[in-house]
Structure 1
Amino acid sequence: MKPINVVIETPKGSYCKYDYDAELKCFKLKKMLPAGMAFPFDFGFIPDTKGGDGDPLDVMVISEIGTFPGCCISCRIIGVFKIQQTGPDGKTIRNDRFFAVPEVSQLFKDVKDIDDLPVAIINQLESFFKNYISQEGKQLEVMERLGAAPARRMIH
Structure 2
Amino acid sequence: MLMASANNSNVDNFNVMIEISMKGSVKYEYNEKTRCLIVDRFILTAMQYPCNYGFVQDTLAEDGDPLDALVITPVSIQPGVLVRVRAVGLIRMEDEAGKDNKILTFPLDKVCREYRFIRSIEDVSPLLLDNITHFFEHYKDLESNKWVKVHGWEDKSAAEKELSQSGERFKNQRKEQQ
The CA deviation at 1:135 is: 4.0
Q: What is the match of residue 29 of structure 1?
A: 39
Q: What is the match of residue 49 of structure 2?
A: 39
Amino acid at match of 1:100: T
Q: What is the match of residue 26 of structure 2?
A: 16
Q: What is the match of residue 138 of structure 1?
A: 146
Q: What is the match of residue 7 of structure 1?
A: 17
Which protein is richer in helix relative to its size?
2
Deviations along 1:9-34, whole A, 9 cap, x unmatched?
01111111111111111011111123
Q: What is the match of residue 160 of structure 2?
A: 152
- Distance in 1 between residues matched to 2:140 and 2:14, nearest whole Å: 26
- Distance in 2 between residues matched to 1:133 and 1:36, nearest whole Å: 10
Amino acid at match of 1:5: N
Amino acid at match of 1:84: E
- Distance in 1 between residues matched to 2:132 and 2:100, nearest whole Å: 15
Q: What is the match of residue 80 of structure 1?
A: 90
Q: What is the match of residue 72 of structure 2?
A: 62
Amino acid at match of 2:132: L
- Distance in 1 between residues matched to 2:98 and 2:43, nearest whole Å: 22
More displaced, 131-140 or 40-49? 131-140
Structure 2: where are the runs of 5+ without partners? 1-9, 165-178
How many pairs does the alignment contain?
151
The CA deviation at 1:117 is: 1.2
- Contact map agreement 2:89 2:159 (CA 8 A) in 1: yes
Residue 116 of structure 1 is aligned with which of 117, 123, 148?
A: 123
Q: What is the match of residue 96 of structure 1?
A: 101
- Distance in 2 between residues matched to 1:55 and 1:61, nearest whole Å: 18
- Distance in 2 between residues matched to 1:129 and 1:29, nearest whole Å: 19
- Contact map agreement 2:22 2:51 (CA 8 A) in 1: yes
Change (3 A) 1:135 1:100: farther
Structure 1: where are the runs of 5+ without partners? none
RMSD: 1.6
Which protein is richer in strand relative to its size?
1
- Contact map agreement 2:56 2:68 (CA 8 A) in 1: yes
Tell me, what secondary structure is at the counterpart of 2:134? helix
Greater Rg by CA? 2
The CA deviation at 1:38 is: 1.1
